Amino acid sequence: MVDDLQRRLVELRFVEGIEKVEHVPYPTGDQFWVRFNIKLDFGKFQDIAKKHGCVMVNFASLPSKLPRPIAEIVWNGVSHVITKSISGWTKFTASFGIEPDGIAKIATDLHGPYQIYISMQEEGVQILYEYLGLKYTPPAPPPKPVTASKLAVPTAVRPSPTPPRPVAPPTPVTAKPTPPTQPSQANPPQEAKA
């Protein structure tokens, strides 16, 4: 599966030699199509595929030789398939039009003179970027799933029926001064008589 299709569509849209870039959804998986308006260098594609441990196989050599009206009925235009590994039997059946599983394929545009590069996997996109001489940036890893124990559970906050009253600052308490104590005048001191 090809990841980050929207970013790739933008990156390749204005590259010289590319006519159209599109995302084609299929039930078996999304595909990344790049239509070229120049002839492709199959030798260069083959060298890059070998560097990635892949093989580029000629496909449907017999159906492609049929007259165009008949070829369009029995052949989808795919002329080369880039695949990880292939047996001799699969290579033989590929010449009759039985398509091997691959990471990318190159199709001849049946209504024009140029080719379409179709990638079904991310490694096919990486091979295309190397062919075009562009810097390949792998897609961002998907975000890690959050477990239920780490989910924040919001607490319910009930609104109070009446707003709280503002608290007045405490008033300072002043103590009343007490008068100094004086001896009582009820029994005046007696003077000594002489």
Lookup result for tokens 């959804």: 25
In a domain, 105, yes or no: yes
Residues 6+ apart with CB under 8 A from 135: 129
Q: Report the b/e string of 39-75 with b at 16+ CB within 10 A.
A: ebeeeebbebbeeeebbbbebbeebbeeeeeebeeeb
Cβ burial of 30 (10 Å; 0-12, 13-18, 19+) is middle
* 51-109 residue pLDDT tens: 999 888 887 666 666 776 776 666 677 878 888 877 777 777 666 666 667 888 888 87
What is the number of structural domains in the chain?
Answer: 1
Q: Give 187: exposed, middle or buried? Use CB within 10 Å, 0-12, 13-18, 19+.
A: exposed
Domain assignment present for 103: yes
* Residue 48, domain member (yes or no): yes
Decide if 119 is inside a domain: yes
Q: Is residue 182 part of a domain?
A: no
**Prediction pTM value:** 0.64
Closest CA to 23 of 47, 42, 44, 7: 7
Domain for residue 138, yes or no?
no
For the chain, the average pLDDT equals: 75
The answer to whether residue 39 sits within a structural domain is yes
Model pLDDT for residues 1-20, shown as the tens digit of each residue: 566 777 888 888 888 888 88
What range defines the domain where residue 45 resides? 5-132
